[in-house]
């Protein structure tokens, strides 16, 4: 006889298993890859469904289920792993007044509730011992995290030391590390120019940045932090609000947007105000956090396995709008990748007008099943890059349904037949030397700041010179004459001369950066450095086999193939020969790896004469310890390494700006030499 019950239950048990797998995968994408593919709301809904199913089938209890632990960002190499003194928990989410009322109902009557902004970055735990910052831990799996203290020390608002006598021996401050909108947009712009994948939102960018092994790059990107929770023994204050106020007095960056509320109406008013006002903040927020103010009451309420009972998050609704997909156009990038772009009827979303959104590749369009004429959902949520998340149902009578739009077979720019490399999602135009956006893109990459750094030769000028047949490849740059450039609209003799000076100066750019500038597919800045360290002349590199190249750290078979293919192309060899004739550096001493990060993120001016080492030796020491030697004193200068007879003007400027002077001995002490 059929077991009717188990047959009915079976699909739900299967659903439970599938949900566990799906949520585990999402945790990995969110915490480790920094590339979630599901909205927070969808994640929460699935988590609730899983909780309900687990309650229905207690025999399927599993301590490893995603309902039983918080997601983990562990697993990146190179950081010390440290056990948290107090587990780093997550917060339960709510989305409506009703859910907030439900939560408040479970609290003792008359409690005070502190409302704070929910910053959308990643949590950090800062340990202070005797007033000194000794550890900075990521959440990790909630039990132990990575010690990213060197990267955290690049954040100007986080004190390395608290000089007070009224502080406890040990305390911990928790908060959120963020990449401000402005920095995030600049970083993505830079990545776009280099055809590196963009960060979907500032949270992912902050997370990727904090996990970098190079504090100098971290410092350059400009992280910030807001702190919202103080823990430890013998701390002053009986309420959360008082503790944060104390932390503020100790010099910590605590938001001013904190309010003690007495009832749900006041909470809702705070939410309504910040739902609009947050758009003017320099950093991303995705909700509000509500916390019981009284610490004794907090303790009484306690914790579940994953979240405190004394706090809850309210998430702002993701902004989503329906709009018309007018047309799909195709963009060709520097490496020939063809990217479909949705052209939309302009629509207001999170304070900006959206009229374009990337469709990534052919598979993405297929998965959405969209075509021009459809009404599509555009979402921005906490993210700045709008994305299309689905489409409205078509009318049953709509003659367009269903049809998958066909991806072009030929390049929209030059007409060459597109190719799709097996295993890659992208279609590519193979006409490297004849396709205008590829030609211009390669030149733009070559002159960019991290490559040859030729100032003044921007996108527009490159386009003008290209259209006049003066610029067809990177070698043509070195044949440009003053009159060619000065003849361009909006470019006078002065800017033309600046460009020529920039071109001249680029002949001093070291070999590793020249290699990066050549734009060999997948050879990024770091890979180029590693290759140049092994092959310190282009001639040596030209004859390297794919197998030999693969022996270099970070160089896999694909990159090795790309390098070999680059040198097998006669057109490239001609260009390289012309660059050599022009005086571009094709060889150089292998750049030394920094010996420490002690000066990471610091800009140091050297001034005066010295007795123990030469100026050049000091310069090399600064660089070897991760610092930057700069020529003139400004408010960005960290300190001045001051010798005898320092110029009076520099001294005055340093005094005015309050910049410290270090003697030779002090400097050598600092780097432990």
Residues annotated catalytic, as ranges:
118
Task: List residues binding ligand IVH (CB under 6 A).
Answer: 89-91, 116, 118-119, 123, 176, 228-229, 289, 308, 311, 313
CB 519 within 8 A of CB 439: no
Nearer of residues 229 and 316 to ligand IVH, judged by Cβ: 229
Q: Which residues share a beta bridge with 172?
A: 127, 231
The rounded distance, in Å, linking the Cα atoms of 451 and 427 is 27
The rounded distance, in Å, linking the Cα atoms of 325 and 378 is 10
Nearer of residues 311 and 560 to ligand IVH, judged by Cβ: 311
Sheet bearing 639-642, strands edge to edge:
628-630, 603-607, 639-642, 660-662
124 sits in the region (left: phi over 0; alpha: psi -120 to 50; else beta) called beta
CB 134 within 8 A of CB 148: no
CB 386 within 8 A of CB 378: yes
5 sits in the region (left: phi over 0; alpha: psi -120 to 50; else beta) called alpha
- We find the least distance from the C-beta atom of residue 315 to ligand IVH, in angstroms, to be 9
- The residue number whose beta carbon is nearest to ligand IVH equals 123
- We find the least distance from the C-beta atom of residue 137 to ligand IVH, in angstroms, to be 12
For residue 110, the tally of other CB atoms under 10 A from its CB is: 7
- We find the least distance from the C-beta atom of residue 154 to ligand IVH, in angstroms, to be 20
Q: Which of 145, 147, 173 is nearest to 159 (CA)?
A: 173
Sign of the torsion formed by the C-alpha atoms of 362, 367, 370 and 371: positive
Q: At what angle do helices 557-568 and 570-582 cross, to 10 degrees?
A: 80
The rounded distance, in Å, linking the Cα atoms of 392 and 341 is 19
Which helix (H) or strand (E) segment is 449 a member of? Answer: none
* Preceding omega of 191 cis (within 30 degrees of 0): no
Q: What are phi and psi of 475, to 5 degrees?
A: -75, -30
Nearer of residues 118 and 653 to ligand IVH, judged by Cβ: 118
Longest pairwise C-alpha distance within the chain: 101
Per-residue buried b or exposed e for 649-664, using 16+ beta carbons within 10 Å of the residue's own CB: ebbebbeeeebebbeb
Nearer of residues 298 and 335 to ligand IVH, judged by Cβ: 298
CB 344 within 8 A of CB 326: yes
Nearer of residues 114 and 384 to ligand IVH, judged by Cβ: 114
CB 173 within 8 A of CB 227: yes
Q: Which residues share a beta bridge with 423?
A: none
The rounded distance, in Å, linking the Cα atoms of 27 and 139 is 13
Sign of the torsion formed by the C-alpha atoms of 136, 138, 140 and 143: positive
Nearer of residues 90 and 488 to ligand IVH, judged by Cβ: 90
- We find the least distance from the C-beta atom of residue 663 to ligand IVH, in angstroms, to be 43
Nearer of residues 252 and 446 to ligand IVH, judged by Cβ: 252
Q: CB-based contacts of 519: which residues, under 8 Å, 6+ apart?
A: 334, 335, 442, 445, 446, 474
The rounded distance, in Å, linking the Cα atoms of 484 and 467 is 12
Nearer of residues 165 and 280 to ligand IVH, judged by Cβ: 280
Q: What are phi and psi of 324, to 5 degrees?
A: -85, 130
CB 604 within 8 A of CB 628: yes
- We find the least distance from the C-beta atom of residue 116 to ligand IVH, in angstroms, to be 4
Q: Which of 415, 419, 359, 357 is nearest to 386 (CA)?
A: 357
- We find the least distance from the C-beta atom of residue 121 to ligand IVH, in angstroms, to be 7
Q: Which of 318, 252, 263 is nearest to 290 (CA)?
A: 263
Nearer of residues 122 and 515 to ligand IVH, judged by Cβ: 122
Nearer of residues 67 and 527 to ligand IVH, judged by Cβ: 67
Nearer of residues 141 and 176 to ligand IVH, judged by Cβ: 176
């Amino acid at each position: 006889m059929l077991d009717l019950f188990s047959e009915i239950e079976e699909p739900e048990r299967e659903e439970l298993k599938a949900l566990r797998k799906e949520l585990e995968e999402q945790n990995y994408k969110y915490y480790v890859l920094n590339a979630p593919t599901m909205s927070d709301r969808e994640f929460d809904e699935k988590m609730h469904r899983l909780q309900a199913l687990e309650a229905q089938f207690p025999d399927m209890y599993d301590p490893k289920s995603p309902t039983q632990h918080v997601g983990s960002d562990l697993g990146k190499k190179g950081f010390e792993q440290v056990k948290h003194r107090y587990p780093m928990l997550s917060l339960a989410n709510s989305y409506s007044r009703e859910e907030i009322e439900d939560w408040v109902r479970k609290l003792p009557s008359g409690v005070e509730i502190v409302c704070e902004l929910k910053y959308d970055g990643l949590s950090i735990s800062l340990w202070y011992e005797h007033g000194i910052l000794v550890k900075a831990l990521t959440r990790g799996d909630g039990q132990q995290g990575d010690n990213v203290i060197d990267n955290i020390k690049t954040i100007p608002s986080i004190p390395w030391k608290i000089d007070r006598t009224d502080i406890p021996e040990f305390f911990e401050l928790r908060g959120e590390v963020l990449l401000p909108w402005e920095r995030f947009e600049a970083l993505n712009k830079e990545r776009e120019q280099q055809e590196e994948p963009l960060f979907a939102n500032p949270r992912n960018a902050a997370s990727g940045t904090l996990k970098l092994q190079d504090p100098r790059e971290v410092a350059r990107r400009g992280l910030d932090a807001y702190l919202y929770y103080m823990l430890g023994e013998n701390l002053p204050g009986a309420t959360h609000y008082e503790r944060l106020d104390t932390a503020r007095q100790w010099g910590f960056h605590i938001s001013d947007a904190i309010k003690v509320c007495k009832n749900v109406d006041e909470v809702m008013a705070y939410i309504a105000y910040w739902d609009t006002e947050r758009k003017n903040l320099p950093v991303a927020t995705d909700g509000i956090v509500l916390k019981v103010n009284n610490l004794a009451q907090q303790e009484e309420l306690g914790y579940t396995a994953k979240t405190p009972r004394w706090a809850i998050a309210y998430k702002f609704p993701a902004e989503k709008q329906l709009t018309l997909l007018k047309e799909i156009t195709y963009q060709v990038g520097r490496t020939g990748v063809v990217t479909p772009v949705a052209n939309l009827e302009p629509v207001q979303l999170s304070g900006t007008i959206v009229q374009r959104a990337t469709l990534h590749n052919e598979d993405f369009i297929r998965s959405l099943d969209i075509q021009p004429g459809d009404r599509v959902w555009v979402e921005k949520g906490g993210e700045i890059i709008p994305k299309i998340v689905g489409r409205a149902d078509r009318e049953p009578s709509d003659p367009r349904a269903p049809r998958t739009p066909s991806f072009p077979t030929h390049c929209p720019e030059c007409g060459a037949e597109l190719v799709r490399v097996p295993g890659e999602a992208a279609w590519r135009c193979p006409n490297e030397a004849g396709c205008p956006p590829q030609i211009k893109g390669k030149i733009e990459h070559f002159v960019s700041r991290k490559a040859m750094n030729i100032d003044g030769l921007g996108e527009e000028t490159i386009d003008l010179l290209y259209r006049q047949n003066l610029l067809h490849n990177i070698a043509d740059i070195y044949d440009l004459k003053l009159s060619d450039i000065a003849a361009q609209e909006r470019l006078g003799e002065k800017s033309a001369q600046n460009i020529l000076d920039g071109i001249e100066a680029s002949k001093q750019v070291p070999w590793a950066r020249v290699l990066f500038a050549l734009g060999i597919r997948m050879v990024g800045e770091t890979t180029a450095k590693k290759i140049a360290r092994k092959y310190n002349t282009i001639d040596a590199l030209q004859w390297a086999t794919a197998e030999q190249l693969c022996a270099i750290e970070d160089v896999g078979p694909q990159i090795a193939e790309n390098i070999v293919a680059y040198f097998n192309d006669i057109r490239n060899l001609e260009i390289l020969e012309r660059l050599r004739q022009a005086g571009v550096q094709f060889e150089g001493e292998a750049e030394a790896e920094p010996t420490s990060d002690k000066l990471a993120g610091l800009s140091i001016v050297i001034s005066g004469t010295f007795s123990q080492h030469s100026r050049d030796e000091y310069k090399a020491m600064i660089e070897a310890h991760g610092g930057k030697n700069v020529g003139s004193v400004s408010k960005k200068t960290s300190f001045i390494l001051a010798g005898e007879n320092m110029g009076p003007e520099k001294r005055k400027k340093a005094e005015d700006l309050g910049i410290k002077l270090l003697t030779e001995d002090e400097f050598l002490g600092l780097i432990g030499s």
